[in-house]
Amino acid sequence: MATQEQRTSIVWDYAPAPESPDHVRLRDSYGLFIDGDFRDPGDGTRVQSINPATEEVVAEVAFAGPGDVRRAVEAARAAQPGWAALSGLERGKYLFRVARLIQERARELAVVESMDGGKPIRESRDVDVPLAAAHFFHYAGWADKLSYGMGGRAVEPLGVAGQIVPWNFPLLMAAWKLAPALACGNTAVLKPAETTPVTALLLAEILQEAELPPGVVQIVPGDGAAGATLVREPDIDKVAFTGSTSVGKNIQAALAGRGIPLTLELGGKSANIVFEDAALDQAVEGIVNGIFFNQGHVCCAGSRLLIQESVAETVVSKLWDRMGRLRVGDPLDKNTDVGAINSREQLERITALVASGEEEGAVRRTVVCDLPDRGYWFAPTLFTGVAPAHRIAAEEIFGPVVSVLTFRTQAEAIEKANSTPYGLAAGIWTDKGSKAFEVAAALQAGVVWQNTYNKFDPSAAFGGYKESGFGREGGMSGLRPYLRHDVSDPGVTL
């Protein structure tokens, strides 16, 4: 392993600037949010949610057992007809309230998100929480306009949606799932991720404060078993899952023959392509954002960096230099760029994949920096000399690790970018407009960013090709997974 000389600047050049957690008022223990209130688990358990940066307890949280999941589905079923019977305007007004309350409690939510998941406060404050509010605001406005979003077709809700979200953007993914489902007149049972349930429970408080009718949303934290139970519940009408491709395949198989609509937003190994005519300094910033944003715990992370041969050495050198200036550490420090790895399990996975990269002959460089004594950390890492067959070039690492490959021609870049079972996202760095459009059209990826990366907006569809899943979230297309064409009313007359 190549190393860099010990950085001297990073420790002293900024004074610590921690965001204060004083205004956070967490309960000691959270129940399962079912039928409008926090309930004791019946056959579930209580577990401690851990801050991955300190290994201290954030809060105690109830985990749902199978009976609890059943209870949640029953509550959602009971509430669904009433919720669907509300006018679209009234449903929308509840969602607008939720959006506003998220904005009001934004600071608290951001701090808790960083405590529970390890992400830098700068990101939870500037990305996760504002986007969560924006999603509710966007879909609130759809609630009374649904048929316009469906090509003029008459529509009806599906019923009860079972929704499972991952640990990398806990509150934001909850918003992505709940906002469209509710706008369309469905009720929901949401299962937050095992390691990051707390902000979803704060969202439950917000739903109470918004006076959302009981039963419209249930929030039942739990581990993978709870998710497996939820998707196998007989009385659900829709499943939406964001997470790994392997679990997504299991869910698709579990639903076989049941006729339940499914949306899958799965893993990725997204190519970030740098052409020789790109603005290279700008590209380097984009590469950093693409792979080190949220410690690389991003399904669409630009984890395969494809650089045109003529500029590869320059870009790698600039990138390595820039990586040396990343500040790794306390997620609550406003100057932190890279926070804590979400869990011990994830740290072990990253460590194992990085070790495989070295074993298979790629050249590793890891930034040398002081890491806190406690918590889970992985310093930003760059691999060169990567062959397409290496595990680090093919498998999702989901950590702050970028694999560099090179290409000579545009055709080769496209071929390499598409040569993966995944198809979630891609980046293109070039100053030639026509080339950007041509390459964007040729990439098999659900989202393509030109001269930028990791941009999200509630009005823009997000979702994958191939084994990165199917169905879209965001915008008009995000409505379709939660509606059916009402065949009793032809809508558009042909």
Partner 1 sequence: MSDRLPVRKTYKLFIGGAFVRSESGRYDRAGEFNIPRGSRKDVRDAVAAARKAAVGWAGKTAYNRGQILYRFAEALESRAADIGAERSDVEASIDVLVHYAGWTDKFQPVLGGINPVAAPFLSFSVPEPTGVVGVVAPDSPPLLGLVAELAPALAAANTVVAVLSEDRPLPGLDLGEVMGIADVPGGVVNLISGRRSELAPALAGHHALSAIVNATGELAAEIDKLASESVTRVRHTSPATDYATATADPLSRLEAVTELKTAWHPVGA
CA dihedral 74, 132, 181, 479 (to 10 degrees): -170
List, in order, residues 6 or more apart from 322 with CB less than 8 Å away: 284, 285, 288
Q: What H or E segment, with its residue span, contains residue 160?
A: strand 160-164
Of 24, 84, 86, 461, which one interacts with partner 1 (CB under 8 A)? 461
Q: What H or E segment, with its residue span, contains residue 122?
A: helix 121-123
Q: What H or E segment, with its residue span, contains residue 358?
A: helix 344-359
> For this structure, is 299 an active site residue?
yes
Closest to partner 1 by CB, 341 or 439:
439
Shortest distance in whole angstroms from residue 395 CB to partner 1: 16
> For this structure, is 113 an active site residue?
no
d(CA 194, CA 342): 11
Q: Binding to partner 1 (CB under 8 A): which residues in 284-303?
A: none
DSSP 147-158: GGGGTT--EEE-
CB atoms within 10 A of CB 408: 10
**Residue from 74, 113, 233, 265 carrying the catalytic annotation:** 265
* Binding track, positions 216-245, relative to partner 1; x by CB under 8 A: -----------------------------x
Closest to partner 1 by CB, 24 or 460:
460
- SS3 label, residue 451: coil
Closest to partner 1 by CB, 64 or 479:
479
Closest to partner 1 by CB, 29 or 246:
246
Closest C-alpha to 429, from 211, 317, 281, 217: 281
Shortest distance in whole angstroms from residue 493 CB to partner 1: 11
DSSP 370-409: ---SSS-----EEEES--TTSHHHHS---SSEEEEEEESS
Cα–Cα distance list, 425 to 269, 320, 371, 403, 456 (Å): 8, 23, 31, 16, 12
Of 1, 15, 253, 389, which one interacts with partner 1 (CB under 8 A)? 253
- SS3 label, residue 48: strand
Q: Binding to partner 1 (CB under 8 A): which residues in 412-451?
A: 421, 433, 436-437, 440, 444-451
Of 289, 466, 479, 482, which one interacts with partner 1 (CB under 8 A)? 466
Q: How many residues in total does the chain contain?
A: 494
Closest to partner 1 by CB, 147 or 406:
147
CB atoms within 10 A of CB 203: 27
Of 136, 275, 376, 465, which one interacts with partner 1 (CB under 8 A)? 465
Beta pairing partners, 2: 365
Contact between 15 and partner 1 by CB under 8 A: the answer reads: no
Of 95, 127, 183, 264, which one interacts with partner 1 (CB under 8 A)? 264
Count of residues that interact with partner 1, criterion CB under 8 A: 53
Closest to partner 1 by CB, 227 or 357:
227
**Residue from 299, 369, 396, 473 carrying the catalytic annotation:** 299
Contact between 44 and partner 1 by CB under 8 A: the answer reads: no
Cβ atoms of residues 98 and 210 within 8 Å: yes
* Binding track, positions 472-491, relative to partner 1; x by CB under 8 A: x-xxxx--x----x-x--x-
Contact between 134 and partner 1 by CB under 8 A: the answer reads: yes
Give the active site residues.
Answer: 265, 299
Residues within the interface to partner 1 (CB under 8 A): 134, 150-151, 153, 245, 248-250, 252-253, 255-257, 259, 264, 266, 421, 433, 436-437, 440, 444-452, 455, 457, 459-463, 465-470, 472, 474-477, 480, 485, 487, 490, 494
